[in-house]
């Protein structure tokens, strides 16, 4: 596997680490459990990192030196593709011939390196986009920066070079075909999963006490990277509307924001805190640094609802993880969230990013405990449809399909 711009060992929720990090490490772990040895190549971001880390039995993360260890933004990484690719090829050259059977790249930067490795090693390239520039640019958040033309061209090249593309949802598959002219026969839909042993129901009263939350609080939570694309400001503005309509809620309302700045949010890391102050929400908003998965599961289980107001999500792992704890999700009706959240059964989908519409949806859960309980039960049921074991099985099938497609192409 190639995950150039972010390591699967990084803490999700800040910088460039997010759902893709979870995807790569959890998929690798489940493939290894099926007897598949996995090497994950990623760019080293510190001189103190060892060259190789055994993340799990059968999963090795290989840190590749390419460019300065610190200070490079994701937008500057294309300049290091050649250096990174050279070191990946060198690493393979030290192994017996035919050491790798498949290259699975993640995000377009990795796909560029994967295409070179494919041709050099004579093995199929399987690629997962995770996000796409054309999709993101069609639904930009206010204040967000459009993806550059260089990325668009790079993604088109990766789509053309890949033997098989793995899409997270049917919608993403359609976007690959419609926007990138992908061959429909070379696109497979494989849903990501959730670790149901970590994300599971907890006694809400107990976890609230442990997290310092009042047992009778209304807890409206956001978890993820703080950047315009993820739109945590939508939740804050909706909470402001709720309090304007009913000031009595203030004494019971708690709004945890779990995560750190990322992407264009790095330019103004304090902007969300400033917005909280401007909206007079400092007494209800709690900023929580990124936490490990078990701790995130406890926060989700403690919440009345988890808000996912993103402008776009290829899938929406946080929504699945929250549902697996039995907490309903209020999500934007965009991208993969329309697959992950069953509207009216496991949560509520909001068709806009208007603060009043979001306040309406949140108020439904606040005013109707029976509805919240029913959606919570539905959330548990919905999450059971997503497991990393199933993801690994379907991905392994995709690898076999990619090898067949490559052999057929070479025989023509």
Query: Binding site: residue ranges?
Result: 5, 11-12, 16-21, 74, 107, 131, 151, 225, 230, 291, 303, 313, 321, 327
Q: Do 357 and 350 meet the contact criterion of CB atoms below 8 Å apart? A: yes
In 3D space, the residue among 92, 65, 66 whose CA is nearest the CA of residue 77 turns out to be 66
Gap between the Cα atoms of 365 and 409, Å rounded: 54
Nearest 5°: the CA angle 165, 392, 163 is: 20
β-pairing verdict for 329-332 and 347-350: parallel
Provide the angle, in degrees to the nearest 10, between the axes of the packed helices 388-411 and 19-33. Answer: 80
Q: Would you list the DSSP string of 199-229?
A: S----HHHHHHHTT--TT-EEEEEES-BSGG
β-pair partners for 2 = 41, 105
Gap between the Cα atoms of 257 and 288, Å rounded: 6
β-pairing verdict for 59-64 and 52-56: antiparallel
In 3D space, the residue among 207, 201, 214, 175 whose CA is nearest the CA of residue 339 turns out to be 175
Annotated binding site for Mg(2+): 303, 327
Give the other-Cβ count within 10 Å of 139's Cβ.
15
User: What are the percentages of helix, strand and coil residues in the chain, rounded to 5?
Assistant: 50, 15, 35
CB within 8 Å of 48: residues ≥ 6 apart? none
> Which pair of structure tokens corresponds to residue 259?
């995560």
Q: Would you list the DSSP string of 360-406?
A: HHHHHHHH-HHHHHHHHHHHHHHHTT--HHHHHHHHHHHHHHHHHHH
Give the other-Cβ count within 10 Å of 128's Cβ.
27
Annotated binding site for UDP-N-acetyl-alpha-D-glucosamine: 11-12, 19, 225, 230, 291, 313, 321
Annotated binding site for 1D-myo-inositol 3-phosphate: 5, 16-21, 74, 107, 131, 151
């Amino acid at each position: 596997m190639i995950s150039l711009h972010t390591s699967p060992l990084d803490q999700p929720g800040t910088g460039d680490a997010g759902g893709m990090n979870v995807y790569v490490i959890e998929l690798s772990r489940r493939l290894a459990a099926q007897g598949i040895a996995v090497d994950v190549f990623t760019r080293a971001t510190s001189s103190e990192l060892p060259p190789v880390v055994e993340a799990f039995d059968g999963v090795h993360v290989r840190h590749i030196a390419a460019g300065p260890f610190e200070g490079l933004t994701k937008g500057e990484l294309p300049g290091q593709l050649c250096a990174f690719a050279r070191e990946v090829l060198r690493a393979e050259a030290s192994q017996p011939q035919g050491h790798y059977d498949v290259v699975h790249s993640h995000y377009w930067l990795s796909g560029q390196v994967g295409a070179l490795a494919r041709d050099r090693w004579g093995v199929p390239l399987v690629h997962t986009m995770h996000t796409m520039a054309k999709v993101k640019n069609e639904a930009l958040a206010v204040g967000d920066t459009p993806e550059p033309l260089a990325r668009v061209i790079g993604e088109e090249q990766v789509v053309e070079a890949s033997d098989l593309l793995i899409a997270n949802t049917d919608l993403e598959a359609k976007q690959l075909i419609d926007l990138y002219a992908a061959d429909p026969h070379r696109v497979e839909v494989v849903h990501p999963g959730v670790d149901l042993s970590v994300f599971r129901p907890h006694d809400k009263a107990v976890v609230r006490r442990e997290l310092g939350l009042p047992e009778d609080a209304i807890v409206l939570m956001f978890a993820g990277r703080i950047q315009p694309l993820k739109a945590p400001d939508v939740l804050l503005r909706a909470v402001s509307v709720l309090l304007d309509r009913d000031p009595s809620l203030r004494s019971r309302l708690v709004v945890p924001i779990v995560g750190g700045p990322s992407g264009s949010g790095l330019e103004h890391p304090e902007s969300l805190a400033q917005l909280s102050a401007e909206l007079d929400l400092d007494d209800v908003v709690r900023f929580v640094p990124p936490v490990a998965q078990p701790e995130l599961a406890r926060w989700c289980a403690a919440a009345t609802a988890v808000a996912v107001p993103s402008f776009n999500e290829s899938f929406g792992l946080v929504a699945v993880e929250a549902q697996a704890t039995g907490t309903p999700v209020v999500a934007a009706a965009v991208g993969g969230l329309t697959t992950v959240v069953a509207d009216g059964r496991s949560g509520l989908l909001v068709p806009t990013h208007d603060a009043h519409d979001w306040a309406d949806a949140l108020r439904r859960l606040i005013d109707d405990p029976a509805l919240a309980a029913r959606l919570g039960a539905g959330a548990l049921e919905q999450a059971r449809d997503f497991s990393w074991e199933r993801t690994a099985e379907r991905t392994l099938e995709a690898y076999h399909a990619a090898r067949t497609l490559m052999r057929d192409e070479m025989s023509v």
